[in-house]
Structure 1
């Protein structure tokens, strides 16, 4: 597992390099963030900031925590050097993080983290440490995924007990923001879909996204060969296989796109057919509730909800429909197409054939062609004042409706100038010239 070790920056006076930075260096990976334990954090932060042209600022002045942002995105954190370094290391979460490095290259490893790294093993320092901060249960999954490690049996059993006690109210749930950060780290990884399965296996998904779990065991039929939950994970896998640069809102939307299906499932119309009418609307609201609970930024929550709500939009069958599709959903493109393609490729049930997949691909190509043809909306032909004067109406919903109708007609090529727009509105709203 170990590769050639990268060079390290000069150590501050009397400093230890601790935790993840020491771990990554030991693995032969250049650390992106450095954690230093030093005798005088404020002084050490100021010296480093002056040397590299960075910005030093306090994280917690009462405890003496300081941070330096270095140009290029590297970050250095400084904390007071503990009186008992071994005791401090043994209070950490996992053995691979309970290590420190001295300036002369000596490794302090009281819990055997180096051997665990060599064995690709993720082992807790103690179950007490996990229970002291239950977020470490989620962190275990992140380290498995991002470091390529595997929980040892005793640690896995302890994580399951932590999850069970959290669910029973015997331990306090971590702050939603902290859970969010762990989930986003998992979603940002190429193996995001398997990591969600791992959360489920350990009992953590129910504490993170209970709405997503509702799809477990819910059959779909038709175009689908997987249950609702498995289909969501396969869609996420398909998205990342095709579009590895997808941002987090698109990944969230893909994972949650069918979250409304369990609550809209209906078999009463025909015993041999299951329907999920309106699941995109219900799903958009459930996605909004889940991500708001996890404290995602409002703009990102809005985008995820909009993508979920729009993912069932029929694809166009001709160029005119394609222009309308682009006009009405421009702000969601091209992400909406990526979500729809991932959804379609994840569905390989008995009704899915090469012909239907080809037809779907043609619809996407029409939208892309229309988007390329008109990459930005043209300037409006009429203003609200123009509409009020033309239709002799006061400010209100009619003005907005008229402006939207003109904008769509303009996007479809049905009106080309202000004169044609006025004629269009007279006809549309029953006004004679």
Structure 2
């Protein structure tokens, strides 16, 4: 029985980056022997065991055979005779198909170290095309490692295009797609995830609402990049630089979906996109069963980003209405999330990447002034019921007017 550290932990160790991804493969053992050694079985589809001390997962070396559609259509085979090289061969990318033995020696049968050196994401074998989920995994790894200069190998991109054309992506569950999408939102370059999916045709299958933005023009005066899809990924890139929050990054991704359904005879104007995008965001959130906090922030950003951009033109009572609409009095953190997305939208344009966004400070000033109004003081004046809210709003608008030196 031999135990090897495999996969992401080996890759990240060689890249000298932090990793909490520790997977172990056991060669030359059986389930009975593992349990005799004190390991606890936890695997359903194939034999995985928890180490008696560290509780880390240890899987018996195995091979897989394609038996049906999708990423679950596999037959797993394991025995004492399955070698480490056979186990590594079933993995997706060469940089994930390396192992470390107990002495610290790297075992690299498929050229993973060479691909690390050349910053290349390359599939291990033709068996790559048997699992459609790997299209999303490669896109995620591209987003994770793009800042280090990694790119998807041309031959791997061709296989990903082949998987897309085969219709296999349609067998992926919404939950698995969202899992990879969500992981991509925590990487340094989440926009690369969508670039890769688009390059192999997968974006049109998995997220047509976003894919439809490419080729849709915007006014060149405000958007020198013109293309709405390009703008959207620029916004996501900027959002990732401004915040590590995945909810903010998601909202930045979908904030302009409404532009994808603007009638062509209205191009390049998109007057109703803030309203039209709401149904599309709900559609995406329903399909992928997203958590409510992702949906709620995305809807707020879609509906309000144009208003925030016009901060210099707003009336004091309009600020109060916006604050009420986003429920900022109960959830003050929403304001910063909204403003961060709007900041990213502003800088996510060609030539505007470094431009300041004074609207953020204006909204923060307005909120601070309005928040200084005390509801208890209003109640002490004798106002009751509905009158309390009306008087609060009047006082808040007055405070904003004074703070921002507004004439209305």
Structure 1: runs of 5 or more not aligned: 1-12, 47-56, 389-398, 415-433
Q: What's the CA shift for 1:34?
A: 0.7
**1:104 equivalent in alignment to 2:103:** yes
1:213 aligned residue: 211
Work out whether residues 370 and 397 of structure 2, in 8 Å CA contact, stay in contact via their aligned partners in 1: no
Counterparts of 1:8-407 in structure 2, within 5 Å, are 14-38=2-26, 39=29, 59-60=42-43, 63-66=46-49, 76-82=56-62, 83=80, 84=82, 85-127=84-126, 129-147=127-145, 148-166=149-167, 172-221=170-219, 222-225=221-224, 226-241=226-241, 243=242, 245-265=243-263, 267=265, 274-313=268-307, 314-317=310-313, 320-321=316-317, 324=320, 325-329=322-326, 330=328, 331=331, 332-347=334-349, 361-374=357-370, 378-379=374-375, 381=378, 387=384, 404-407=389-392
Deviations 1:31-52 (A, max 9, x none): 3121012456668787xxxxxx
In the alignment, structure 1 residue 408 sits paired with structure 2 residue 393: yes
Task: State the Cα distance separating 1:260 from its structure 2 match.
Answer: 0.4
Q: Distance in 2 between matches of 1:75 and 1:377?
A: 53
Q: Distance in 1 between matches of 2:38 and 2:185?
A: 33
Deviations 1:8-28 (A, max 9, x none): xxxxx8421112222222333
Flag the 1:216–1:155 CA change in 2: closer, same or farther, 3 A: same
With over 3 angstroms needed to count, the CA separation of the structure-2 counterparts of 1:281 and 1:34, relative to structure 1, is same
Offset of residue 411 of structure 1: 2.7
Per-residue Cα deviation, 1:128-165 (whole angstroms, up to 9, x for no partner): x2232111112112223323433333222111111121
Contact 1:32 1:75 (8 Å CA) reproduced:
no
For the structure 1 residues 164 and 373, does the alpha-carbon distance in structure 2 shift closer, same or farther, using more than 3 Å as the test? same
Cα gap change, 1:75 to 1:279, in 2 (>3 Å): farther
Residue 110 of structure 2 aligns to a residue in which SS?
coil
SS of the residue corresponding to residue 156 of structure 1 reads helix
Shift, 1:182, TM fit: 1.9
TM-score normalized by structure 1? 0.71
d(CA) in 1 for partners of 2:6, 2:135: 21
Q: Which structure 2 segments of 5+ residues have no match?
A: 63-79, 400-408
Distance 2:229 2:128 in 1: 29
CA contact (8 A) 1:93 1:125 kept: yes
Over residues 360-416 of structure 1, what are the superposed CA-to-partner deviations in whole Å (9 max), with x where a residue is unaligned? x44432211123345588446559xx856xxxxxxxxxx5xx5643442343358xx
Alpha carbons of 1:346 and 1:123: their partners in 2 closer, same or farther (altered >3 Å)? closer
Tell me the number of residue pairs that the alignment of Structure 1 and Structure 2 aligns: 358
Is contact 1:58-1:67 (8 Å) kept? Answer: yes
C-alpha contact (below 8 Å) 1:281/1:309 kept by paired residues: yes
Shift of 1:93: 1.2
- Deviations 1:233-259 (CA, angstroms, capped at 9, x unpaired): 222233334x1x241111111121111
Residues 285 and 305 in structure 1, CA contact (< 8 A), matched pair in contact too: no
